[in-house]
Structure 1
Amino acid sequence: MTTRALLSRFDVRDLLPARTDYDLRPRTLRSDVFAGLTVGVVALPLALAFGVSSGVGPAAGLVTAVVAGIFAAVLGGSNVQVSGPTGAMAVVLAPIVAQHGLGSVAVVTLLGGALVLACGLLRLGRVVTYIPWPVVEGFTLGIACIIFLQQVPAAVGLRAEAGVNPLVGGLHAVTEAIGNAVPDGAPVAWAWTLAFVAVVAAVMVLLPRLAPAVPASLVAVALVTVLAEVLHAPVPRIGDLPDSLPLPLVPGVSPGALRDLVGAAVAIAALAAIESLLSARVAATMADTGPYHPDRELVGQGLASIASGLFGGMPATGAIARTAVNVRAGARTRLSAVVHALVILAVIYLATGPVGQIPMAALSGVLMVTSFRMISAATIRAVLTSTRGDAVVFVVTAVITVAFDLIEAVQIGLLVAAFFALRSVARATSVHREPLPGIAQPGDERIALFRLDGALFFGASDRILGEVSGVAHDGLGRASIDLPDAPVEVVILRLSHLRVVDATGARALAELVTELERRGVTVLVKGIRPQDRKLMTAVGVLAELRHESHQFAELEPAIEHARSHVARAAAARTGGATDVGHPAVTGPVGPSSDQPFASA
């Protein structure tokens, strides 16, 4: 690699903010400010709710929305992406907090952010394109189910048990709430919280139909807070909140604790990268503000999480729902995401008192409705009715997400998707017995011409080459290939139609050549592609041929050589007389081994 190429590889200028990121013309400026105000109002209850559901606390949710929101907006790769705490990250963070304690949050946030930053600097932003659609949708469905289940205890006035699977915890909370019901008709303890959840859900569902421009979640939370105050409802509240941002602080951690948290940090980094890139990609299709830069997006999200961790926040990612609101509100540049963060910052400094009186049940209601909005019935129907393999991938990913672990769900989903994809490719790979072109000549029945199509890789090599290898045995075909009764003396393998060849497939081809040659069948190969020649040479395909001249770039010379071979063998059987039209050949026919072969 030249010095110039090496320098260009590590050139980070395209990962830095630029003046073109903003448009300060009055019309665009007004659109961005209005969109930022709208998203800020929508994001406030979500920041509080995700902070609570993660186990870190509502204050951490607000800090993350402000600090990470500004850093990701300025440094990220999307013009309209809005970042902050999300439901998926809260789901991942909750068991980490339960297992390692609240002090682990800052450490895993910093480590996770550093890993995401490294991925951006290493130009790994395009990796997300390799995640299949059914895996993404199954993961989203699983996350939505977990978010809903996590809110069930709060909806019935109970505290969720730390470290318990959300499905188990939700069922246990419902059972306990029913068991606490008073049979004589006295008010049930969980009636207040359940009623407030119902009010929030009703407002968030009905208000957008009556007044789409009004932020339904904020109105619902405000209404329930007023009702709780007026009725003196005995329900848990958010409580005291800080009235300013904390000072940045680097957390202290021992080497042993650091080793214990590395795995959690990797999980957080993987989720942050995947969710942010998916959100940015969706935003690019929704808005006409230009494409997103995936590597810069990772750099921005990594630095945003690092900053959030220093200020006492939680890991941040791109938020699809808030980004969609931003786009629909008319955002044109990343200034709108900055304004959204400043709106929440103003709440921290000016309105933490009223915010602290919000009932926890109100936040549960917001998250429950949000979880339903994450699920698209049309999308689920499309995945389940697409192909059997995609439906299995979707269901497996969703079930594992809910029952076990999010990162394991993505990993297993990818493995299942890869299995079905490889099976499809293997089934599309085939071998065909073809008649020799032109006018038939005596001895043609002793020549077998095979065309290999598709991919010769580990998933298909045994099946495909097993069909060919039966040609020489007793002169009869095997594996559904109809061959004449005359023993085959020459096999021509047409390889120019192969699109993919891996080491396993090439090695299997070498073993096939060895087997046929051992049985006395001469093998000729035609049309080795230039990109496959090095591999086939390395694994021994060409070395196993009887003669180096048994390689051909065109089909006609290969057939002529095969006919000459058959004629020579016939002459040997008859004591020297050759078949009509086939002069005896005493040496190899075809191009020499040092001639270039172009794939035909």
Structure 2
Amino acid sequence: MTTATQLRSLLPGRIDYAQLRHSWRADLLSGLTVGIVALPLALGFGVSSGAGAEAGLVTAIIAGVVAAVFGGSNVQVSGPTGAMVVVLAPIVKEYGTGALGAVCVLAGILVVLAGALRLGRAVGLIPWPVIEGFTLGIAATIFLQQVPQAVGTSSAGLSSNAAVAAAQAIGRAHLPTVLWALAVVAATAAIMLLAPKVIPAVPGSIVAIVVVSLLAVLLHLPVVELGALPAGLPAPRLPAFDLATVSHLTLPAVTVAALAAIESLLSARVAASISDTGPYNSDRELVGQGLASIVAGFFGGMPATGAIARTAVNVRSGARTRVAAIVHAVVLLIIVLVASRIVASIPLAALGGVLMVTAVRMVSLRTVRSVIGSSRADAVVFCITAVITVSVDLIYAVGAGIVIAGVVALRQLARSADAHREGLPGSAVAGDERIALFRIDGALFFGAAERVLDEISAISDVDVVILRLSQIRYLDATGAQFLTELVQRLERRGVTVLVKGIQAQHLGLAERVGVIGALRHHRHLFDELLPAVEHARSHVARAIAAP
């Protein structure tokens, strides 16, 4: 693929809207549905991050359009997400909302570079137990982040750790405020669960927000409201950039970029698995999400990612092209322009209830049981990833999960390597007891080579050792070096070593490391077993005949 072709594959084209002539009605309806679903989530995630409800809406609108046009999926819906809130909340608490624009731009640049460098398929290297543990940890953190709103306590002065902050908020709660806030949360959750059975055409979250907000206004409930929102989008402005700012925000930006890439690609992959709207381009998806975060940063928004829940709603509503995601952003913009005063009356506890229910729905008990029941090692990886996600950090959790999964995989791979002593083929002849035939199976690499080869070198009372290497599935430099040492060790003891069946893909490495050179004679390398056995018997016959 030429450079020009690679570049074109990362840019929008007419093919993105090839189905629009037939799908425009479905795309419009899907965009309307997703826009309604996204409203409370955008508001709630903005509040939970500490950036404010306006930042959540701006991100859903601005980033939603940019990611839809430039991203690599036909049905992906982007905007603020719970996973990103988990990362942003500590950043905003430490550096303030003024740093958010710089974090957006820096993280966006990193994500665009990842796409340009063709790193999109790297998400496929993340093991399934890590992904599910990551999801469970995110869900638990989102739930805990809503506790201050659920008990009517201000989040000011609370810990940046969601679990600790939740405990602090409960300790600060006082009557009767906590009772009213809990009542709003409980009512919101109940309506979200029951509304789909009564009004299946309207998202339960919207029904809950409308009903609870009306009750709070009519009954003059003593609960904290969302507050005034601007009746339009803010003017773009250049985020504050200086050497000190960049140096302080580099690590947070890397964390945000890594999460944005991982979550967006996972969401796009899920969308591709549940729809027939065509495959997604993972590298272009990174470019689109990076550009979305950059532009959102200029408008006072948050870093954007693909939103799995909203994307799934989009697909199930019949979306076929990017127009649906664009319409979703337009719907939100209309709400901002027309109904900002109405939206300002939403109780914060109601948004907290919506996000609590959303967090619970993120976790599939069936999936959790499947992971835990698959194997002990996978269950350990799953649990550790979830615990670190809640207690430390999302990126540390993913990194730790991948490392632990890798160690477990290497351990299992090492166990597959073994050396078996076999009987010689054909009828036995005198002296066969002085010939040892070993078949080496599995992967001969740094994790298994020493153990396997120590078993062979311990052999005694033989004159010839035949090594059958045709069953070695993988050989690395360490394994080849140990083979060389094995041959040298046996030859020093006067034992002749014959090598049979070394695979063509391993032969070059064996020659370079010295396995072939360590043999007593170049004719001691065989392609077939019978000639090797005949040669070994001739060696033994000469040794017996010698005075």
| AA of the residue aligned to 1:261 | L
1:545 pairs with 519, 535, 538, which one? 519
Matching residue of 2:127? 132
Farther off after superposition, 384-393 or 510-519: 510-519
Give the Cα–Cα distance (whole angstroms) in 1 for the partners of residues 23 and 493 of structure 2.
78
Check if 1:283 corresponds to 2:279.
no
- Aligned equivalents of 1:205, 1:445: Cα separation in 2: 76
Higher relative CO (Cα under 8 Å, sequence separation at least 6) belongs to 2
Matched letter for residue 75 of structure 2? V
Q: Quick check: 1:171 aligned with 2:167?
A: yes
Q: Which moved more, 1:21-30 or 1:84-93?
A: 21-30
Deviation of 1:25 after TM superposition, in Å, equals 5.2
Q: Distance in 2 between matches of 1:316 and 1:163?
A: 24
Between the aligned partners of 1:8 and 1:548, the Cα distance in structure 2 is 47
8 Å CA contact retained: 2:101, 2:240: no
3-state secondary structure, aligned to 2:466: strand
Deviations 1:377-407 (A, max 9, x none): 1011111111000100000000111111111
* Structure 2: gaps (5+ residues): none
Following TM superposition, by how much is the alpha carbon of 1:540 offset from its aligned partner in structure 2, in angstroms? 2.1
- Shift of the alpha carbon at 1:164? 2.8
Residue 134 (structure 1) shift: 0.5
Measure the CA separation in 1 of the matches of 2:154 and 2:223.
12
Residue 328 (structure 2) aligned to one of 340, 346, 368: 340
Secondary structure of the residue that 1:190 maps to in structure 2? helix
Aligned partner of 1:203 in structure 2 is: 191
Say which of 23, 30, 47 aligns to 2:25.
Answer: 30
Measured in 1, the distance between the counterparts of 2:430 and 2:244 equals: 80
User: In structure 2, what is the Cα distance between the partners aligned to 1:212 and 1:424?
Assistant: 49
Q: What is the CA deviation profile of residues 53-105 of structure 1, one whole-angstrom value per residue up to 9, with x for unaligned ones?
A: 11111101001001110111111111111110000000001111111221211
After TM superposition, the structure 1 = structure 2 runs for residues 157-236 of structure 1, keeping only pairs within 5 Å, are 157-160=152-155, 161-177=157-173, 180-181=174-175, 188-236=176-224
SS in 2 for 1:431: strand
| Cα distance in 1 between the residues matched to 2:515 and 2:56 | 61
How big is each residue's C-alpha offset from its partner over 1:497-536, in whole Å with a ceiling of 9 and x where there is no partner? 1111112211121121121112111111112222222222
The match for 1:594 is none
CA distance in 2 between partners of 1:407 and 1:349 (Å) = 37
The answer as to 2:509 corresponding to 1:535 is yes
Helix, strand or coil: the match of 2:301?
Answer: coil
Q: Measure, in 2, the Cα distance between the counterparts of 1:24 and 1:396.
A: 44
Aligned to 1:311: 299
1:444-478 deviation line (CA, Å, top 9, x unaligned): 1111111111100111112211111111xxx2xxx
Deviates more, 1:301-310 or 1:243-252: 243-252
Q: Distance in 1 between matches of 2:5 and 2:463?
A: 57
Runs of 4+ in 1 over 3 A off after TM superposition: 7-10, 23-27
Does 1:94 pair with 2:89? yes
What TM-score results when the alignment is normalised by the length of structure 1?
0.89
Q: Supply the distance in 1 between the matched residues of 2:8 and 2:519 (Cα, whole angstroms).
A: 53
Mapped to 1, the partners of 2:20 and 2:288 lie a distance apart of 25
- In 2, the alpha carbon distance for the partners of 1:464 and 1:134 equals 30
Checking the alignment, whether the CA contact within 8 Å between 1:35 and 1:329 is kept in structure 2 is yes
Work out the number of aligned pairs and report it.
546
1:318-333 pair list within 5 angstroms? 318-333=306-321
Question: What is the match of residue 17 of structure 1?
Answer: 12
Shift of 1:15: 1.4
Q: Residue deviations 1:223-252, cap 9 Å, x none? A: 111111111122211112122212222212
- Separation in 1, partners of 2:5, 2:298: 28
Which has the larger displacement, 322-331 or 509-518? 509-518
Structural RMSD (CA): 1.4
The residue correspondences of 1:242-391 to structure 2 (distance < 5 A) are: 242-391=230-379
Q: CA deviation at 1:210?
A: 2.6
> Which amino acid in structure 2 is aligned with residue 36 of structure 1?
G
Task: Confirm or deny that 1:47 pairs with 2:47.
Answer: no
Residue 567 (structure 1) aligned with residue 546 (structure 2): no
**Any conservation in 2 of the 1:143–1:401 contact (CA below 8 Å)?**
yes
Distance (Å, rounded) in 2 between the aligned partners of 1:112 and 1:449: 58
8 Å contact from structure 2 (residues 99, 240) kept in 1? no
Gap regions ≥5 residues in structure 1: 182-187, 476-486, 576-600
Q: Following the alignment from structure 2 to structure 1, what is the Cα–Cα distance between the partners of residues 508 and 158?
A: 57
Q: Distance in 1 between matches of 2:377 and 2:338?
A: 53
**2:468 corresponds to which of 491, 494, 515:** 494
Partner of 2:494: 520
Please state if 1:143 is matched with 2:117.
Answer: no
In 2, distance between residues paired with 1:455 and 1:350? Answer: 65
Contact kept, 8 Å, 2:434 with 2:463, in 1: the verdict is yes
Q: Distance in 1 between matches of 2:92 and 2:20?
A: 46
Identical positions, percent: 60
CA distance in structure 2 between the partners assigned to 1:159 and 1:342 by the alignment: 32
**Separation (CA, whole Å) in 2 of partners of 1:171 and 1:359:** 22
Structure 1 Cα separation of the partners of residues 41 and 349 of structure 2: 13
Deviation of the 1:162 alpha carbon? 4.5
Shift of 1:176: 2.6
